Amino acid sequence: MLKRITTYCLLFFAITLCTSCFEILEEINLKTDGSGTMLVTFNLSKSKTKLASIMLLDSVNGHKVPSKDDISIALKDAEDHLKKIPGISNIKKTIDYENYIFTIACDFDKVSNLDAVFKDLIQRHNKREKTNFNSTNFSFNQSTNTFARKFSYDDAIKKSFYRLKGDDRKVFEDASYTSIYRFDNLVESATNLNAKIAPNKKAVFLKIDAMSLILGEKSVANTVQLTK
């Protein structure tokens, strides 16, 4: 199971190394009882013309180019893994090779269910590589109505980045991570200085360029205080 998740991550890494413009979008809709939905989108549409040509090749810059079958199988394995996690249901995925947009979505009974998706993989990576990545990434305290996206930066991110070849590092110059968290209750505050609260006070938006995240200049960590 962990091997399949690793393969999925490596395949996504391989196709991002084929283009210099991609976005990872993380969306969570949280209900007052702590349940909700999550949607993760890998958007490479701005480079779709280039990717269409690259997908015809065997390799680029020494990296094997995954076939459509490789990507489809990896997404199916990720979907099957989610089905085995308690509290996770209604798993759906979409594959759009015309625009190169891939999504996977699910419902969760409580926020802590989301941590189980990659918890074992992160813990094994930390033990093997002596890193300190969070294995608990989300939390929701119903008594205080506080939602948190946790993230602890580790210098291993920067070290891994600089081990890449120069051409591979350039790939991340135009990449970005975006999170959108929507709530039933009104948002009182968000701790991340780069986050923006929607005009209707029911959503928090955060967009960070990949280089700032890799170099530790910015963080995805955010604590959102909701009205009671």
Q: Report the number of secondary-structure helices (H) and strands (E) in the chain.
A: 7, 13
Stretch 200-228: mean pLDDT, rounded? 93
Q: Is 164 exposed, middle or buried (0-12, 13-18, 19+ CB in 10 A)?
A: middle
Stretch 124-135: mean pLDDT, rounded? 66
pTM above 0.75, yes or no: yes
Which pLDDT tens digit goes with each residue over 29-39? 999 999 999 99
Contacts of 28 (CB under 8 A, 6+ apart): 36, 37, 38, 39, 138, 179, 180, 181, 182
Which pLDDT tens digit goes with each residue over 144-191? 999 999 988 878 778 877 877 777 677 777 788 999 999 999 999 999
